[in-house]
């Protein structure tokens, strides 16, 4: 019985520490994102893509694509500003555990099994901006597909930082019916190379 009670107390303590750690990460990320309209622009862009893809009139579809260009540019600029501001934070607060499950303060306990969120956001900022500029001269539909992948991968990184890779991947699959591996394959080659070099496959 004593062993059971001790085990229960240890588990409860670990859960409390994990919750505290994750709450701090969520607050840090939200406080920095709150200065920008990134989430609103992402929502507008996603809805615009769906509306455009469902439009039968080629002329009307072309008009919508053109309107979305300004939203893509605005989003790219905002995320670059956010990434630049975020890069000024202390590295100790921006380490992300690469362990498959969330352990309390894992980034401090196992520093070699972490990556720097500031570097990940810099990669996302370049990927979003380059896709918005359409440096690879993609068709509108292909550009929208790539931009969506860039944005979803960035969301995955945010959830990974706040919770864990496992939770982030589960959320991505539940919300967008997309696996993490599919996101990696769908982003631009430049993003894929830099991101996988930072976090692994």
What is the domain count for the chain?
Answer: 1
- What pLDDT is attached to residue 33? 92
Residue range 75-105, pLDDT digits in tens: 999 999 999 999 999 998 999 988 877 666 6
Instruction: Check residue 3 and give its pLDDT.
Output: 54
Whole-prediction pTM: 0.87
pLDDT at site 15? 46
Task: Outline where DSSP puts E strands in the chain.
Answer: 95-97, 114-116
What is the predicted pLDDT for the residue at 124? 98
Q: Name beta bridge partners: 116.
A: 95
Among residues 35, 132, 131, which one has the least CA distance to residue 88?
Answer: 35
User: In this structure, are residues 117 and 95 in contact, taking their beta carbons and an 8 Å threshold?
Assistant: yes
**61 Cβ contact partners less than 8 Å away, ≥ 6 residues apart:** 52, 55
Give the pLDDT score at 12.
52
Q: What is the pLDDT of residue 200?
A: 83
Check if the beta carbon of residue 4 is closer than 8 Å to that of residue 88: no
pLDDT value, residue 111: 76
CB distance 93 to 66 below 8 Å: no
Given this model, what pLDDT does residue 18 score?
A: 56
pLDDT at 7: 54
Q: Which residue segment(s) compose the domain that 132 sits in? A: 2-199
Compute the chain's Rg from CA coordinates. 19
Q: Which residue ranges of the chain lie beneath pLDDT 70?
A: 1-21, 102-107, 109
Residue 20: other Cβ atoms inside 10 A: 12
pLDDT given for residue 82 in this prediction:
97
Q: What residues contact 18, with CB distance under 8 A and at least 6 apart?
A: 102, 103, 104
Token pair belonging to 157 = 């990184």
Beta bridge partners of 95: 116
pLDDT for position 201: 72
């Amino acid at each position: 019985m004593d062993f059971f009670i001790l085990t229960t107390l240890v588990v409860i303590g670990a859960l409390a520490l994990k919750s505290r750690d994750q709450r701090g990460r969520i607050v840090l990320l939200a406080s920095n994102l709150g200065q920008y309209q990134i989430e609103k622009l992402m929502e507008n862009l996603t809805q615009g893509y769906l509306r455009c893809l469902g439009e039968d009139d080629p002329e009307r579809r072309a008009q919508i694509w053109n309107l979305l260009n300004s939203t893509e540019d605005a989003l790219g600029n905002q995320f670059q500003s956010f990434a630049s501001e975020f890069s000024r934070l202390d590295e100790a607060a921006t380490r992300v555990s690469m362990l498959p499950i969330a352990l309390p303060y894992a980034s401090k306990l196992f520093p070699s099994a972490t990556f720097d969120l500031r570097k990940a956001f810099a990669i996302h900022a370049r990927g979003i901006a380059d896709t918005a500029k359409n440096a690879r001269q993609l068709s509108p539909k292909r550009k929208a597909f790539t931009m969506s992948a860039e944005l979803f991968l960035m969301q995955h990184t945010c959830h990974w930082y706040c919770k864990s890779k496992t939770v982030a991947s589960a959320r991505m699959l539940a919300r967008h019916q997309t696996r993490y591996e599919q996101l990696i394959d769908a982003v631009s080659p430049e993003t894929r190379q830099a991101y996988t070099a930072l976090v692994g496959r």
